[in-house]
Structure 1
């Protein structure tokens, strides 16, 4: 099954499930759905940063300071956060990510919108990111991430989540 065929829950303005549809249809029609963002820190408190592969359906080749993705049909935010963190970091046995806060992401042009939940996890395991998802990766100190905000092209939803996280 391709990523575009994956079935996701469609939600309303209050994040209540109102139906289901394939991911490709959700993206094409701009339907509200759910996503998770997991900030992964290593033992030295550095942040896992990566560049997405050019074949990603959304935001190809852009940098991100979160691992994560869409919440599958019938899946909880918590389960999706653990699944996505383990998949993208290429680890198993990760502690369950700690939920921090939800928010409704809306792109500047209003074409992209999804309910989002931000999490944090400590990853002391050696990472082996999925080559289908991650083109480059490193654990960077927060100060380095801050310096790179102005020079690298970041995924806009991750940047929105990061700005909200910093404001907390």
Structure 2
């Protein structure tokens, strides 16, 4: 299994029948899990999950074919994962704090969390996101303030 986040990023926008996506599905213990217009491939031993959505959500085109929409790279212990051991995008490291990350990556695209949700009955994790070429880099922080989850995803078409 690759130890480079960029390898997983290159799967974005690819259809589920793409040979590289098929190899990923074969490597996953549960294969492709599909629910309606969404699918997941989970690689818990590698700290990686890939989310798929039907074409209109990823490419803007009509069709029911699933396409890779997001790559989630888990930090050690996140959702009981051993953690992604490979290189993260933009020189990031799990456990890094928000302020130095913002100083390095510059202007954020969006931010949120860090407040208590009455609906969820828990504090929503703090997160920030950045434009990352044609994609979005979404960073989530633990309650202690360290980076715990890195997601690279395709923005909605036209947004």
Q: Same fold (TM over 0.5)?
A: no
Provide TM-score, normalisation by structure 1: 0.28
Provide TM-score, normalisation by structure 2: 0.29
